[in-house]
Structure 1
Amino acid sequence: MPYTSAPTVVSSIASQSDADAFRALNEEWISRLFTLQEQDRAVLGDPFGRIVGQGGDVLLAREPGSGTVVGCVALLAYPGAVFELAKMAVAPAAQGRGIGRQLIAAAIDRAQALGGARLFLGTNSKLAAAIHLYEEAGFVRITRDRLPVTDYYARADTLMELK
């Protein structure tokens, strides 16, 4: 099914089919560019328990009309009103339409609505387009010692925080 150029609709995860789309979108890019790790499998396999149930959210970009999920982003909650922007993916056929920008803006708004005082992310230097989007949204690079977690993805060689 071809993707339209109409704006997408962003909403929170609501069903098992949403969870399946979230997992599939992320498994595709992580497996293609890196290695799917156990922490990936745990979060992607149970977004309601591992993300939503912990105070976070998963936002999905949907095609208008069909409701097909074409992108996603997660907000993982940490103590101290800290959130991580994670697991952002846009279906390859839907890339280049501003969906990533829309997801980042929606995630920032949702983190604030959830009471977030700090928003960080980890990415990889191979993902130059994603880093550019994060910088456009106001994220700046930080060092690993600024992370609120110690056991963080080895592939995350670029760490950022919203100014």
Structure 2
Amino acid sequence: MEVSIIEYEQQYAADFKRLNLEWLDKYSLTEEADLIVLNNPEKEILAIGGCIFLAKSQDKIVGSCALIPEAPQEYELAKMSVHTAFQGRGISKLLLERCLAEAVNKNVQRIFLLSNSQLRKALSLYEKYGFRHVPVTSTHYITADVMMEKLF
């Protein structure tokens, strides 16, 4: 199975939303802040200088990840998702590596993420890539009980 990481295009909006709602709903984490972004990623991510990367296998979008600017040289890593049938194949690593490479290209000094303690596999992946747990400060997600950051 060959997987390529591509940049988001509007034609993939429904895939981006579907992939993220799949895991959010599975863990009962879907909230209004998610829906705002998922219903209009062009406005909420791309128009403010962010980026979205998608994992594509054959003609199917099977994963996603985004970088959303929060402050100068500071981005949120968000909307990391891999379709259930494609998990365990290293796709999250490919997406995360692409986001980290983009952060370097943008001269980002800090990436942070907000997550939930139920997502143990994801948290372990972030730790392997140098993200460290920090206290949860202000967040736009009610269910976020984990905050991690990576400094460059």
Do the structures match in fold with TM over 0.5? yes
Which amino acid letter does the alignment assign opposite residue 82 of structure 2?
V
Residue 56 of structure 2: aligned partner: 62
1:14 Cα offset (Å): 1.4
Taking only aligned residues, the RMSD between alpha carbons, in angstroms, comes to 1.2
Q: Report deviation, 1:15.
A: 2.3
Q: Which one of 80, 84, 87 corresponds to residue 88 of structure 1?
A: 80
Give runs of ≥4 in structure 1 deviating > 6 Å: none
Could you tell me how far apart the structure 1 residues matched to 2:26 and 2:86 are?
Answer: 17
**Where does residue 45 of structure 1 map in the other structure?**
39
- In structure 2, the residue corresponding to 1:122 is in which secondary structure? strand
State TM-score, norm by structure 1: 0.88
Partners of 1:118 and 1:151 lie apart in 2 by 16
- Size of the aligned set, in residue pairs, is 151
- The yes-or-no answer on 1:111 pairing with 2:103 is yes
Contact 2:10 2:42 in 1 (8 A): no
| One-letter amino acid of the structure 1 residue matched with residue 34 of structure 2 | D
What is residue 122 of structure 1 aligned with on the other side?
Answer: 114
TM-score between the two structures when normalised by the length of structure 2 = 0.94
How far the C-alpha of 1:21 sits from its partner, in A, is 0.6
* 2:132 corresponds to: 140
Please, which of 10, 29, 44 is the counterpart of residue 5 of structure 2? 10
Match of 2:147? 159
Q: How much has 1:26 moved relative to structure 2? A: 0.4
What one-letter code is carried by the residue in structure 1 that aligns with 2:148?
Answer: M
Q: Structure 2: how far apart are the matches of 1:162 and 1:151?
A: 17
Shift of 1:101: 0.9
Unaligned runs of 5+ in 2: none
Q: Distance in 2 between matches of 1:93 and 1:79?
A: 35
Question: What secondary structure does 2:141 align onto?
Answer: coil
Give the deviation of 1:116 after TM superposition: 1.6
Q: 1:36 aligns with which of 30, 35, 51?
A: 30
> Which whole-Å deviations, capped at 9, do the CAs of 1:99-143 have from their partners, x for residues lacking one?
011111111111222332210001111111001100011100011
Aligned position for 1:73: 65
Gaps of 5+ in 1: none
Q: How many Å separate the matches in 1 of 2:4 and 2:107?
A: 23
Q: Distance in 2 between matches of 1:83 and 1:89?
A: 18
| Higher share in strand | 2
